Structure 1
Amino acid sequence: MSKFSKLSLSSVLFVSAVAASSMVPGVVKAQTVDNTATVPATTVPAPDSTVNESSLIRSIGKDPMVNRTAQNAAPETQAQNVTSVSQLSDVKPTDWAFTALQSLVERYGCIAGYPDRTYRGQRAMTRFEFAAGLNACLDKINEIITAGLADKVSKEDLAAVQKLQEEFAAELAALRGRVDALESKTAQLEAQQFSTTTKLNATAIIAPSFATDSNVTLSGRVRLNFDTSFTGKDLLRTRLQAGNVTRFDRVPGILSSTVAGTTATARLGFDTNTDNQFELDKLFYRFPVGNQVTAFVGTRGVDWDTVFDTVNPYFADSDNGAISRFGRYEPFIFRAPQGAGAAINFKFNDQFGLNLAYLANQQFAGNAVGQSGLTNGGYGAGAQIVFSPNKDLKIGLAYIRSFEPGFEIGSNTATLVDVSGSTGSVNSRRPFGAVDTSTDRYGAQLSWKVAKGFAFGGWVGFANMRQESGIGRNNADAFNWAVSLAFPDLFGEGNVAGIIFGQPPKLTSNSIVARRDDGSTTYHLEALYRWRLSKNISITPGVFFIFNPENNSANNTIVVGTIRTTFSF
């Protein structure tokens, strides 16, 4: 005869309900995990059409390294204690185990339910699960006896439990062994893990691309971000990058079939060519100063789109935004000398913010000779005011004073002058040639979410340049503008369709007559559709047209297209 036949019906119901409680996550967990250290875990934000890298870095509240506690919680796996069996929605008075469950809840407190207030008593269990539930109830009974409340435990129940202890002695011993082994493995993992404070998140791009009169290319880019947080509110970002994406501005002859030469307006927004060798792309530290101030300091990758607000949420990101370099954001502001330096963000309230920064050219900020270093080489110092009267409208106004050296960088002869950040005409980039150039840069940005599925944006930028070395002290002005239409969640959540039209930087005046952009005006027209296959994969086919390249109607229209596939993990 089975040992169970010797037990009373109420006792069987009692232990059956106890064992069934082991099926609720949290009961076993309480026995196996409480003594182990919690390892911080973070999740990589899914690609989002309204979130770009700069807003992710700048927003402490949204940073993946900050909300670690909330992210660690798994609501579906957390048991919920109940004080009355009536709180369990799937337990009815007509159920055969109702009385036993009621007794366990009211007398022993051994029962826990799921977060949705269900008990799920019809699930099957293993002998180990039964042993775990039995062990949990034994602990409860011991607590009651220790507290001097032994009279609340019936002799019949104690006898049933004693017999069950004998029946399941092997399983209980094995369970303790499994817990010991789990603790040992946990300790080993803690000793061998990479870091409790660092999270790796990465993106990889694969893209076939083409430009007028060039071969079709197949290239890619990989970025590995090591995000470290020491306090939960700070961020140390270290990025390694490698790629072989073609720069179409370096492909001879794409201006037209009759005019040799190249133009920066043909560049892709994600082009990076390191010959597929990994290099350090970013190294900076961001930390809060009080509740309303965030500070940045770094030696590489402290860019203007990191410390200023691009006010272009749908197209600023090179992974999932515009496919062209010009279409990402206003170039006079966000392509000024950058990379190494410091910045401060003031957030006065939900409507107003002030950003201040001093950034030097990262390529030569660590060089101690010639026109280089933090203060004697290329630099930009500026401020931005951001005004957001409501969640759908944002306006940014920015000013940057910059200096870009022309020659003699250390022992090498090189020029860093590129006022328009490799987005406009040759004359707008170097209005006076390879000579020292200072610039006053002005920019205004707008983003307006008109409706749920439609957003309007754009910018206007102006630059006044002065020659600081060489023969003469000439002056020049340049201008650019763009408007964008975004259609978020078109044909599916996370998708974005976009149209961008504008005028890349053009030199509108120059005291050096031979370097003026006279005659025609270059126009940029771009169309793209970002299709989100999953939270980790998106495909963005897109094309853009450059009309009158280099502000010369004699040049044929340039067409650049790509199918950018982005993996994030």
Structure 2
Amino acid sequence: GLEAKVGELEANQFSTTTKLNGIATMVVGGAGNTGLGDEVTVNYDVQLNFDTSFTGKDLLRTTLRAGNFGNSVFGSGNTTLETAFGEEDSADSVTINRLFYQFPIGERVTATVGAKVEQPDMLAMWPTAYTANILEIFTRAGAPATYSKNLGAGAGIWWQADGSGFNASVNYISAEGAAEDSRIGAGEEFSVTAQVGYAGESWGAAFAYTYSDVGYVFDNSSNNIALSAYWSPISAAWAPSISAGFGYSDFNTDRPFDESTSWMVGLQWDDAFMQGNALGMAIGSAGQSNAASGRIDTLGVWADPGTNTLAYELWYQWQVTDNISVTPAFFWIENSGRSDTYGGLVKTTFTF
């Protein structure tokens, strides 16, 4: 009888090989001179990651996500102030944000396939130690055209050397708007990324190339390269980690411009003023101002002719408990020829 009851329990329980981890973020803040309103808003973003392993070495990731940043200056409608925690999908609707499968091929190679996978999911390393996650333009290693974070259907493979930090990655992604639409197809609106890098104990660097046919900037295909690096002290000290990156793009266009550049430098002090807390700041290219609309709409890249702008951010993360942190942040965007954009926010993050 006991064996029968145990068998029934095992047959009906949730998979023992699946783990749930989540991030819930609440944000209070606002910004002036954005053209989208200057009132204070309260927004949220929730991500639930279900990680399943069938062999102990593979990974099936399913991510559910919901938020309400759609009408906020921190949402995806404002490419300058879009935050790293803003939700792009329908307000207050739970959607599938990731669905991909990773598995090893031999000892040093990992493959990834997915119906909804993002570019960083298929890179052996992300070449920055700057983890602020405030303004989105500072989360792309100084090269937003190369590290586009294209999301859609894709496949990739990476290799990591045995006993050293050398690695190489290559992946293909068809943007979700094309891959799921029978009128367009998975062979259109795509990006191909190749990266070689080194990730050591205290420093790392990577060179990457992306051919993009998505046209998320200027609606053109482009060839993009990036050189990014970081250094971190082995133990927390007065010296911060230093992250820097540079990007260059060549656009296939008949417009007056055909080239662009981007860059960023980020500093981060761990255990700042108190163990577990962190202090950080960053400066970098904010994009090109659109003279007609007065807005910045090129996601952090500079192209001539145009008005090139700079972005700054300063933040302090207070680790209240192991799973709760509060981060006040201030940002400033220089806008030549018109009033600068400035603002602040307080982000409360729960991890579980």
TM-score normalised by structure 1 residue count: 0.54
- 1:313 positional shift: 3.2
Unaligned runs of 5+ in 2: 290-301
Please state which structure has a larger fraction of its residues in strand.
Answer: 2
CA displacement, residues 355-394 of structure 1 (integer Å, 9 cap, x when unaligned): 011111022202222xx2121x111112101123x41110
1:523 paired with 2:348, answer no
| 8 A contact 1:382–1:401 mirrored in 2 | yes
- Identify the match of residue 324 of structure 2 among 527, 537, 543: 537
- Identify the match of residue 154 of structure 2 among 341, 354, 363: 341
- Equivalent residue for 2:251? 465
Residues 203 and 519 of structure 1, relative CA distance in 2, 3 Å threshold: closer
- Identify the match of residue 503 of structure 1 among 245, 264, 285: 285
Distance of 1:185 and 1:534 partners within structure 2: 40
CA displacement, residues 450-480 of structure 1 (integer Å, 9 cap, x when unaligned): 463321111101111013xxxx577511111
Distance of 1:291 and 1:451 partners within structure 2: 28
2:258 alignment partner, SS class: strand
1:232 alignment partner AA: G
- Equivalent residue for 2:227? 444
- 1:351 positional shift: 2.6
| 8 A contact 2:317–2:327 mirrored in 1 | yes
What does 1:352-371 align with in structure 2 at a 5 Å threshold? 352-369=166-183
- Equivalent residue for 1:271? 86
Greater relative contact order (Cα 8 A, min sep 6): structure 1 or 2? 2
2:195 alignment partner, SS class: strand
Please state which structure has a larger fraction of its residues in helix.
Answer: 1
Distance of 1:455 and 1:250 partners within structure 2: 28
Distance of 1:250 and 1:226 partners within structure 2: 25
| 8 A contact 2:233–2:241 mirrored in 1 | yes
- Equivalent residue for 2:339? 556
Distance of 1:529 and 1:486 partners within structure 2: 10
- 1:206 positional shift: 0.9
- Equivalent residue for 2:202? 392
1:332 paired with 2:145, answer yes
CA displacement, residues 535-560 of structure 1 (integer Å, 9 cap, x when unaligned): 21111111111011xxxx22211113
Distance of 2:65 and 2:202 partners within structure 1: 34
1:374 alignment partner, SS class: coil
Distance of 1:516 and 1:402 partners within structure 2: 17
What does 1:366-377 align with in structure 2 at a 5 Å threshold? 366-369=180-183, 372-375=184-187, 377=188
- Identify the match of residue 238 of structure 1 among 42, 59, 62: 62
RMSD of aligned alpha carbons: 2.4
| 8 A contact 1:336–1:380 mirrored in 2 | no
Aligned residue pair count: 327
| 8 A contact 1:247–1:268 mirrored in 2 | no
| 8 A contact 2:256–2:305 mirrored in 1 | no
- Equivalent residue for 2:260? 478
CA displacement, residues 291-334 of structure 1 (integer Å, 9 cap, x when unaligned): 1000000011x21222222212332xxxxx32111111231122
TM-score normalised by structure 2 residue count: 0.86
| 8 A contact 2:260–2:303 mirrored in 1 | no
Distance of 1:450 and 1:197 partners within structure 2: 36
| 8 A contact 1:343–1:358 mirrored in 2 | yes
1:524 alignment partner, SS class: strand
- 1:228 positional shift: 0.7
Residues 355 and 247 of structure 1, relative CA distance in 2, 3 Å threshold: farther
1:447 alignment partner, SS class: strand
- Identify the match of residue 52 of structure 2 among 228, 233, 250: 228
Distance of 1:268 and 1:288 partners within structure 2: 33
What does 1:115-134 align with in structure 2 at a 5 Å threshold? none
- Equivalent residue for 1:199? 19
| 8 A contact 2:29–2:344 mirrored in 1 | yes
- Identify the match of residue 165 of structure 2 among 351, 361, 367: 351
- 1:267 positional shift: 1.7
1:266 alignment partner, SS class: coil
| 8 A contact 1:450–1:456 mirrored in 2 | no
Instruction: Give the % identical residues.
Output: 31
| 8 A contact 1:310–1:445 mirrored in 2 | no
1:401 paired with 2:214, answer no
- 1:214 positional shift: 1.1
| 8 A contact 1:294–1:344 mirrored in 2 | yes
Runs of 4+ in 1 over 6 A off after TM superposition: none
- Equivalent residue for 1:294? 110
| 8 A contact 1:337–1:378 mirrored in 2 | no
Distance of 1:444 and 1:299 partners within structure 2: 29
